[in-house]
Each structure stands twice: as C-alpha cells, then as structure tokens.
Structure 1
Amino acid sequence: MHPTVEDPRAAIADHTARLLAWAAASMAPAREAARDIAERLAVSSEGGKAFRGRLLLATFDACSGTDSDAALGLAASLELFQTAALLHDDVLDGSDTRRGRPAAHRVFEHQHRAAGWHGDPEAYGRAGAILSGDVALIAAQRGATLAARRVGDLVSDLFDEMAALVTAGQHLDMRVAVSPMDDLGALESDIRTIMRAKTASYTAEFPLALGAAAAGASPATVARLRAAGIPLGLAFQLRDDVLGLTGASEVTGKPVGDDLREGKRTLLVWHAVAHGSAAQRDAVLAVLGRADATAAQIDVAVEAIAASGSLEAVERQITAHAATARSALTEALADADPVLGLIDAAVHRSA
C-alpha cells in the first residue's frame, strides 16, 4: 500500500469530489457536468489506474514529504486535468467511445435527442463536452492553487507550465493530423514533439516534479525528476500507440484502429510509411484519416504496420526509454523504489 494513505485511489477520488463540488456549486447544469466527470474518473480508477496521481504520491513519499493533504489535492488535480484533456480530445477527434463507454459529447447528444430539444443535437453534444472539460479544468486549477498555499508557489508554477505545454502539444497534434505526409523527416520530428509536449509532460514529467515540489525537495531534485519523467512519459505514449493497434477493445475501452481512422500520426504509422514496402504504405494510407474505413481495411493496415517492422522498432524504443527513466530516477532519489514500482505498470500494461 502507498505510505501516504492506505488506499491512494480512494483518497484521490475523495479530493476530486470536493474540487468538483466547488467548481460546480453555482448552477445545476454545472453539477450535471460534474456528475459525468466523476463517473468518468471512477471508471479510470478501476484496475490500477490513476497512474499520474499515484506517481505524484510515490514521488512525494520518496522525497519524504509530510503534507499529505496537499499532495493528495495535487494528485486529484492531475486526474481532473487528464479528464479535461480527454473530454476535449474526444470532441476534437470525433471519438464515439472512451474507456468502454460513450464519449461525453455522445452522451449530451443523446440527451438532446431524447428530450426533443430544439437545434442540432451534435452541436449541443460537442458544446456540452467542451464545457464539461472546462469544469474539470477549473476544478484542477483550484486544487493546484490550494496546494500552493500550503507548500509553496512552485507547485502552481509547475502546474501552469504543464497546462500550457499540453495545450501547445494538442494544437500541433491537430495540425499534423491534417497535414500532407510528404516530408517524413519533419513528420518524425513533429510526432516526437507531440509525444513530449502532449503526453510525457502530464503523464510523468510534471507528476514527478509536482510530487517532489510538494515534499519540499530542492530545485535541483525537481529538475532531475522532470528530466527523468520525459523518457518515462514517452514510453507510456508509445505503449498507448501499440495498444491502439494490437490491444483488445474490451480491455482498452476503445475500438481497435480508431487512431488510424482519426488520422493520428504515430511513430508506428511513420515507420510503416517510411520503411515499409509500397504495398504496406498504401494499406496504411488507405485508412489514415478515413472515418469510413471498414474493419477489413483496418485489419489489412494493422497487418501492414506489423509486417513493416514498426512494432518491433517501437518496442525497442519503449525498452530504451524505460531503462533511461529507471536509471535517472535511481540517481535522483535516495529511495526510488516507490516510484520504480510504477514504471512496469506504465510500460507493460494491457490497457
């Protein structure tokens, strides 16, 4: 069990509930959005999830932190921030599902249709999900502010920097997804930048840094943990990409091939296009960004990506990034075991 609390996921959930109640106290529609957010957070906490919050708490313990309430508030803020990002992502990508349940914009769309309200149900659904994401962001920022009052302004500075970096990464991801694939060198660079900014930042870099800052660690230790978090976050994202192609949809909670239909440029796609045969490239490009791609076409594209050697190439990168992170964490922390124990869960997970 986690030293900070007996059950960190339950404690994080308690703190998120408090933050959501504060953010949604003013009006009934906001409380409705908060309920949907809370349900989604509950789903994400099943089966050993809440990884970012748990990583922050493990780092807090490894740095001998004492204000566990502040650390738990920050952990809750991270989970709320991720939920906000996913709510907005699903609108941007037009995703139908998330973690095995309808995406928020589809829930709001169905509500509109069922009630027979005026206007466009799809537009209402998108607007509802965006505003729900905003409620989650407001609650997340509140948690960071409250923690900063207890343990110092560094945590709010880090949280703000994380939010700015993730937003910039999301914008680049959106632009790259609709750009021609005629400069593969630039595309690889953009993909790595997106992984660094959009995922590695709030998945590992800043959870590690925030946990250390909440514990009162030195600026040098915070900086070293940030650096260690980047390869860990990259390994996490690459595992996500692999699971998006090879994972079972009933486990991942998302249909296999959705990333291809949405036009996501991943290193798996890049490698198949850059190093695969002409037939393999054609199979991938035939479905990339095609929402109407059939299951049979997706299967052919996945087989082409695998045959091109992309999976093996990405697995090698996952192993290398995880080893780099492990070594850096061992050097940065006197007792890295609480943190190292989460790395395998992040890198070798099935969902």
Structure 2
Amino acid sequence: MTDQLAQWRHETDAAITATLEAVSSSVAQAVPDAHEVLAPAMRYAAGGKRLRALLLLASHAAHEGTATQAAVSLAAALELFQTAALLHDDVLDGSDTRRGGPAAHREIETLHRAMGWQGDAESFGAAGAILAGDLTLMACQRAVSRAVAAAPERTVLLGTMFSEMADLVTAGQYADMRAAAQPLAALGEQEVQIRAVMRAKTASYSAEFPLAMGAAVAGASDDAISAMRTIGRDLGIAFQLRDDVLGLVGRPEVTGKPAGDDVREGKRTLLAWYAWSHGDTTARESIALAFGNRDASDTTVAAAVDAVVRSGAVAHVEQEIARLTQAARTRLHALGLGDAGADMLDALITQVVDRQH
C-alpha cells in the first residue's frame, strides 16, 4: 500500500511539473519576465501532501478503474487548483508565510522594493500573486483537458463536476470573507455560515469531488459517484476542522505558519464560534483583544488561544472530527468495494484527519 501511494505521488508530481513547464514555455519567449510570477507558483505547487490527488487515485482504483492516464491528469489538476487557491487566499488573508517561506505576494513585493521600481510595492506584490494564481488556474485547465482527452466517454461528466467544484470553492471564498467582515459581536450567531463555508470552500475540493471524480473516471455508476460525494463531504469538513485546530494550536516548526495565525486573521471557525458562545466574559475579552488584530502581540494572541482552549472548543471540535470520520468510514465500508481499494481509502482517511500539518 505504501509503495502504491508513493508511486501515485511520483506520477502526480511529474504531471504537475510537466504542466507548469508547458505554461512557462508558452510565455517564455514573448514575456520572459513572467518567470517572476511563475517561480512562486512552482514553489507552492512543489509542496503539500497530495492528499486530494491520492484520494482521487485511490477512489479510481477502488472502483476498478483502468483510465490511469486520465486519473493522474485529474489528480494533477486538483493539486494545481489547490495551488491557485493558496496563491489567491494568501493575498485575501494578508498572510506573510506559506510552506515555511514568504507568501507569494510578499516575495513579489520584496522584488519590487529590491529593484527600486515605481509605485506601491505592496500593491504590486498582491497583483503579481493574483496573476500567479491565474496562471496556475490556466495550468489546471491544461491538466483537465488532458484528462478528458484520455477519457472521452466521460468528458461531459468530468468537465461538469470540475466546474461545479470550482463554482462552490469560489462562492465559499466569498462567504468566508463575508462572515469575517461581520462585527465580532455577531460571531455567536454564525455557526450556520461557518459550516456552509467549510462545506463549499474546503470539503468540495478537499475530498468530495476528488473521491467522486475518481469514481467517475473509473466508469462508476451515478449511485456510486453520489455515495462518494456524501463520504467526501463528511471527510472534507473533518479535514477543515483539523486544519483549524492546527491553525490554533499547531507547532509552527511543523505547520509552517505562526501559532495563532487564524486568531490574528479573525478567521471565522467552529473553534472561534464555540469559544465565543460558550466561554465566559473573561474569555471573550481575551479573544476580542486579538481576534482580527494584525498588530496583536504574541502575548495577546497566546492569551486568546488559551481562552479558546479553556472554553472547551478544541475538545468539542475533536468530537466533531471523530463523528464525521466515523460516518465517512461507515458509508465507505457499506459500499462493498474491493478489499485493497477500501483499505487504501481507509488509510487515507486516517491521514486526512490525523495529520500534524
């Protein structure tokens, strides 16, 4: 099983590299300076655990698929879509770091300053990172085109599914921004919105559509595809909840992001909602001092994190992760997939929810 996962990672990495190199080659002669925005995109794309790709490829195998070339191309497209989302998200969130290095917009901003160019360096960096994300989305479309060319009998279905996924993620991103723009006092009433964001912005492309497209490219029935979507929604929300826990109490040397970064960003999470709704007055005061405050000191942020933990929020979310994970596993085992495929998917579920970064 480990060898198979390693092989899938290798194949996905190769497909991602080839796709980005094709984009680079297509613009290199006409716009040689485009490497300044492609370089951070390639750095982002080179990182990550490839969980989305592995879920797709494991689902394809579990449904006895033989369209390997199409599946690998789709897996690469998913990872490129994730890369584009990260590039754009870092601009929207004003993040300073990514994967242990500077966020793309900070990297391009630094280039602007170093070269002594005219205009505002920060705005230039943000614009450059957005364009880096756009170029990565074009790379994603290249990979999708290769996938549907290799599985022509599923062209319409796969194209429709990928488009629906992209629509959900984009709308979910807006919903996330909208929730964060509300006054902090509204946080206690935002559980429904927070759950909607997790389902649309994260669950859709982290697990729901990877599992469903893996089944679809394998030629699975509509019922089987629908079942994988349901499993993926539960798993994808558990994925986001784990990400939120790590964003609150994860170790920076492991996660690659400062501890409590989500607090400074004012990110609306189930953790924040629970702490605000169930914490006492002192807890809310500590949270209010740091939440959404980019200039909050490390001590202030640490006090807010401690308040969230003491409220029981982390324990509550851990219970939610366990519930969703068990639901996903129960539905998966009820499908009667081949032992090898089901075991591989079960192992990946563990990786998704038990990861440390």
- TM beyond 0.5: yes
Contact 1:272 1:305 in 2 (8 A): yes
Letter paired with 2:166? A
Contact 1:242 1:311 in 2 (8 A): yes
Instruction: Give, in whole Å, the separation in 2 of the partners of 1:199 and 1:290.
Output: 24
Residue of structure 1 equivalent to 2:316: 313
Deviation at 1:124, TM superposition (A): 0.9
Residue of structure 2 equivalent to 1:279: 282
Deviation at 1:35, TM superposition (A): 3.1
Instruction: Give, in whole Å, the separation in 1 of the partners of 2:266 and 2:143.
Output: 34
1:213 aligns with 2:216: yes
1:38 aligns with 2:42: yes
Instruction: Give, in whole Å, the separation in 1 of the partners of 2:69 and 2:18.
Output: 13
Matches within 5 A, 1:241-280: 241-280=244-283
Letter paired with 2:134? D
Instruction: Give, in whole Å, the separation in 2 of the partners of 1:315 and 1:5.
Output: 27
Deviation at 1:285, TM superposition (A): 1.6
Residue of structure 2 equivalent to 1:137: 137
Matches within 5 A, 1:64-103: 64-103=64-103
Aligned-residue sequence identity (percent) comes to 49
Instruction: Give, in whole Å, the separation in 2 of the partners of 1:127 and 1:238.
Output: 30
Instruction: Give, in whole Å, the separation in 1 of the partners of 2:261 and 2:234.
Output: 25
Deviation at 1:32, TM superposition (A): 4.0
Deviation at 1:293, TM superposition (A): 0.7
Deviation at 1:150, TM superposition (A): 2.2
Instruction: Give, in whole Å, the separation in 2 of the partners of 1:23 and 1:14.
Output: 14
Contact 1:3 1:61 in 2 (8 A): no
The Cα offsets for residues 87-145 of structure 1, whole Å up to 9 and x where unpaired, read as 10000011000111100001101111111111111111001100000011111122112
Contact 1:107 1:125 in 2 (8 A): yes
Instruction: Give, in whole Å, the separation in 2 of the partners of 1:130 and 1:2.
Output: 36
Instruction: Give, in whole Å, the separation in 2 of the partners of 1:131 and 1:269.
Output: 32
The Cα offsets for residues 4-45 of structure 1, whole Å up to 9 and x where unpaired, read as 78622221111112221233312323344333222222222x
Instruction: Give, in whole Å, the separation in 1 of the partners of 2:5 and 2:323.
Output: 33
1:158 to 152, 161, 165: 161
Contact 1:155 1:213 in 2 (8 A): yes
1:347 to 346, 353, 356: 353
The Cα offsets for residues 70-94 of structure 1, whole Å up to 9 and x where unpaired, read as 1111111111000100110000011
Instruction: Give, in whole Å, the separation in 2 of the partners of 1:31 and 1:57.
Output: 31
Residue of structure 1 equivalent to 2:293: 290
Q: Which moved more, 1:175-184 or 1:191-200?
A: 175-184
Describe the SS at the equivalent of 2:119: coil
Describe the SS at the equivalent of 1:43: coil
Instruction: Give, in whole Å, the separation in 1 of the partners of 2:334 and 2:261.
Output: 39
Describe the SS at the equivalent of 1:293: coil
Instruction: Give, in whole Å, the separation in 1 of the partners of 2:248 and 2:226.
Output: 34
Q: Which runs of 5+ in 2 are unaligned?
A: none
The Cα offsets for residues 145-194 of structure 1, whole Å up to 9 and x where unpaired, read as 22122221211111110000000000010111110244456400000000
Describe the SS at the equivalent of 1:286: helix
Q: How many residues of Structure 1 are paired with residues of Structure 2 in the alignment?
A: 347
Instruction: Give, in whole Å, the separation in 1 of the partners of 2:166 and 2:189.
Output: 25
Instruction: Give, in whole Å, the separation in 2 of the partners of 1:143 and 1:2.
Output: 26
Q: Which runs of 5+ in 1 are unaligned?
A: none
Residue of structure 2 equivalent to 1:17: 17
Query: Per residue, is there more helix in 1 or in 2?
Result: 2
TM-score (norm: length of structure 2):
0.94
Instruction: Give, in whole Å, the separation in 1 of the partners of 2:301 and 2:44.
Output: 28
Describe the SS at the equivalent of 1:292: coil
Contact 2:184 2:288 in 1 (8 A): no
TM-score (norm: length of structure 1):
0.95
Contact 1:268 1:310 in 2 (8 A): yes
Contact 2:5 2:54 in 1 (8 A): no
Letter paired with 1:214? V
Contact 2:87 2:133 in 1 (8 A): yes
Instruction: Give, in whole Å, the separation in 2 of the partners of 1:35 and 1:211.
Output: 30
